[in-house]
Structure 1
Amino acid sequence: MITRPASTPALQPSLLLVGFGAFGRLCARLLAPHLRLAVCDPDPQAGALARQMGLALAAPEAAGDFDFVLLAVPVPALEPSLRRIAPHLRAGQMVLDVCSVKEGPAALMLRLLPESVQLLATHPMFGPQSCTGAPAGGRVVLCPLRGEWRRVAGFLRRLGLRPILSTPQDHDRHAAMTQGLTHLLARAMAGFDPHPAIRTRSFDLLMQALAMVGQDAPEVYEAVTRGNAHVAPLRERLMRNLAQG
């Protein structure tokens, strides 16, 4: 065992952030003060934004150089991203995703990544629209797939976040209502603008809640409403309830 001199500070863990869209930038803002973070994104504009934030850039071939690899890409981009990094990973690393659905992404990670790599499927239950300041109290779902996960849970608690342990299947069943139906309602209510001058406080609060997801990227809407198999029965139930009302 190597002992560090008392005057030598331990290096921060390193993380490769794959994907630098709106959610990737949110991840960078929250994590960069605590980790040695680099960004991997082929889009030149994303790379320019990362450099403006003082972040290093890295290619997929460098994935093995980091303690953690966090995939912040849309669900359709997950499989090609996993295939690009898979040959370069090393034993003991942890790979995480932040996709809005968990069953499909979890299955892809287990199938495509080496067995020697630790896997943790995650879903922060907040996003760029709802997390404009400190994320204190925000929920983060953790779905352990392979290896140790408690270290990540402890780190999240130190950030003031609330880890919730789940399976991918249970996550998607719960998220079908809390996220899938919310997005469906936001899409349906979007056609009722402008809001009337005569309205209740409850209406204002409802519109504020729906506005938090109304500006999400189209691929997020597709993932949480069509990529989650548990949403379709709830949609049908909602339609029946409205018809009976």
Structure 2
Amino acid sequence: MNAFLESSNDVILLSTSILSLSQVIKSLPLNYLRKPTLFVDVLSVKEYPRDLMLQVLPSDSDVLCTHPMFGPESGRHGWKDLSFMYDKVRITNEATCSSFLQIFSSEGCKMMEMTCEEHDKLAARSQFLTHTIGRVLAEMKVEPTPIDTKGFQKLVEVKESTSRDSFDLFSGLFVHNRFAQQQLREVELAFETVKQQLLKRTNEELEQS
């Protein structure tokens, strides 16, 4: 690791699990850096790595927070038209930052610049919600049937795709995205609301029969 940091890299890419980022970044022998470096993370949450990098990294290091909105499965046939989110948190060397982002834009990614806060708000209602529904379906042991509708087939696909990801990823999406807790409460409230609507209708039908 010391030799790696001494090799005058322009960019250091932090690609760890959400839950291990703190341990990884705090273990780096940053005193071996030969020059100001651009640090980039690709985690699925953004405020957490931003705050951690600003706290731990040298003040002359640049910080770019990114989230490729695709994984090995969805991106295996190419990245064209797939979204790539980024936030130039602290950039002094614009040329290095632009060169890094060009890797993704040249592959046809839809480049989306937004704040880390905005990303986490949106991700709580998209990525975290998808993983939550998938985990619930997995707990229910939902499996294909001989009479599946197209809608049910999509639910099975959600269950299978989210189940392939580790529980560490899922828990990281919850623990380190401050908007996820509210999203979980909204899911619980929505489920209870639908349940009460069904019970009310059931009682109405029974009274009329």
Equivalent position of 1:94 in the other structure? 38
The change in CA–CA distance for 1:85 and 1:142 in structure 2 (over 3 A counts) is: farther
Query: How far apart, CA to CA, are the structure 2 residues paired with 1:206 and 1:194?
Result: 10
Query: How far apart, CA to CA, are the structure 1 residues paired with 2:89 and 2:73?
Result: 29
Aligned pairs (5 A) from 1:1-245: 59-65=1-7, 66-83=9-26, 84-147=28-91, 148=94, 149-190=97-138, 191-245=140-194
Query: How far apart, CA to CA, are the structure 1 residues paired with 2:160 and 2:84?
Result: 21
The change in CA–CA distance for 1:231 and 1:238 in structure 2 (over 3 A counts) is: same
TM-fit CA distance, 1:119: 0.9
TM-fit CA distance, 1:128: 2.2
Query: How far apart, CA to CA, are the structure 2 residues paired with 1:158 and 1:92?
Result: 26
> Taking structure 2 as the reference length, what is the TM-score of the superposition?
0.82
Percentage of matched positions with identical amino acids = 25
Name which one, 1 or 2, has greater alpha-carbon Rg.
2
Supply the AA of the counterpart residue of 2:193.
Answer: Q
In 2, are the aligned partners of 1:89 and 1:117 still within 8 Å (CA)?
no
Query: How far apart, CA to CA, are the structure 1 residues paired with 2:2 and 2:162?
Result: 31
In 1, are the aligned partners of 2:135 and 2:162 still within 8 Å (CA)?
no
TM-fit CA distance, 1:179: 0.7
In 1, are the aligned partners of 2:39 and 2:62 still within 8 Å (CA)?
yes
Q: Which one has a larger percent helix, Structure 1 or Structure 2? A: 2
Query: How far apart, CA to CA, are the structure 2 residues paired with 1:226 and 1:240?
Result: 20
Query: How far apart, CA to CA, are the structure 1 residues paired with 2:157 and 2:143?
Result: 14
In 2, are the aligned partners of 1:70 and 1:97 still within 8 Å (CA)?
yes
TM-fit CA distance, 1:230: 0.3
> Taking structure 1 as the reference length, what is the TM-score of the superposition?
0.71
In structure 1, stretches of 5+ residues that fail to align are 1-58
In structure 2, stretches of 5+ residues that fail to align are 195-209
TM-fit CA distance, 1:113: 0.7
TM-fit CA distance, 1:166: 1.2
Query: How far apart, CA to CA, are the structure 2 residues paired with 1:209 and 1:202?
Result: 11
Deviation per CA, 1:55-112, whole angstroms, max 9, x where unpaired?
xxxx254124212110111122212322214222243321101111111111011111
Report SS of the residue matched to 1:62: helix
Query: How far apart, CA to CA, are the structure 1 residues paired with 2:104 and 2:135?
Result: 32
Supply the AA of the counterpart residue of 2:87.
Answer: C
Query: How far apart, CA to CA, are the structure 1 residues paired with 2:33 and 2:114?
Result: 26
